[in-house]
Amino acid sequence: MFVSRECWISSWGVLAIVPLLGCAPKVDIARLPDQTPTFRAANSFIHCVEGANSLCVKSGRALVGWDALFLLVWLSDGSPVSIVGALQPQLNAHSNPRVVERRFVEEIERYAAVLRGAECDAVAERPLGGLIDEVSRDAVARLQRLGLWQRGMVEAVTLLTAEAHRDLEDGALVRLDCKSDPYRVHVAAIESDGFYEIIGMTTLLPEKLGDLRPSSEVVQDRLQSRSLGLAGAAGMIAENTIDPWLTFPVEEL
């Protein structure tokens, strides 16, 4: 059978290519974890803190919005005595972006050591926009109940609520559960230039905001935590110290 020169060259070309294809190295394609972008951002932030401490904090206006939300949480659930005595200094600090950033840095530095062995993982999230309104309403109701709802307080709550909405409206509050102290971490994630970044962190949120009630063992462990600065304190708060049948709210004690 006659084979043209062109076909003969073409056949040899195919035979030469086949062995090369068979020896091609296997390529593993890296894939992102099957999680929401906010979960990935939260987990990445905690991993960053484990290795680089406060170098993971980025400067930005959004830090002010988180600080505003945290102050509203304090007004809705904090000690009345501390509110009366410390509100003005807290508002003065809040008005300085450098002080706000330093607060976040100090919080990260305080927890970096314990986070390294805590094995934290993102498990839940909720929109920050709705949370801001909920916290603001709780703060107003409580301040009215305590007789503190006066002109200056009205202006403070209104401005704090507006700042929180401005910076956090489309963000999410992500909860991470940990196997050891601090057991639970909440971080605020917002979108910036197509990426999510973390602009706030806390380990303490009121139960009425959806946080889970810790067990008595966890409470005792946290009270002795070096991250809270209570490791060397004398006298821990024992369970059932306050009689549940007292006829007045504990906040008035």
For 7-17, the pLDDT digits (tens) are 444 444 544 54
Backbone dihedral region for residue 157 (phi beyond 0: left; psi -120 to 50: alpha; all else: beta):
alpha
DSSP class of 209? G
- pLDDT tens digit string along 13-42? 544 544 545 555 665 554 556 789 999 999
CB of 227 closer than 8 Å to CB of 206? no
Structural tokens at position 11: 């056949």
Strand, coil or helix: what is 35?
A: coil
Among residues 43, 222, 37, 210, which one has the least CA distance to residue 138? 210
Least reliable range by pLDDT among 28-32, 110-114, 166-170, 186-190: 28-32
Predicted model pTM: 0.75
Max Cα distance, the chain (Å): 110
* H-type alpha helices, 78-232: 80-94, 97-115, 128-145, 151-168, 216-223
Among residues 67, 68, 63, which one has the least CA distance to residue 162? 68
- CB burial of 179-198 (b: ≥16 within 10 Å; e: otherwise) equals eebbbbbbbbbbeeeeebbb
The pLDDT-based confidence of 63 (bands split at 50, 70, 90) is very high
Structural tokens at position 137: 């309403």
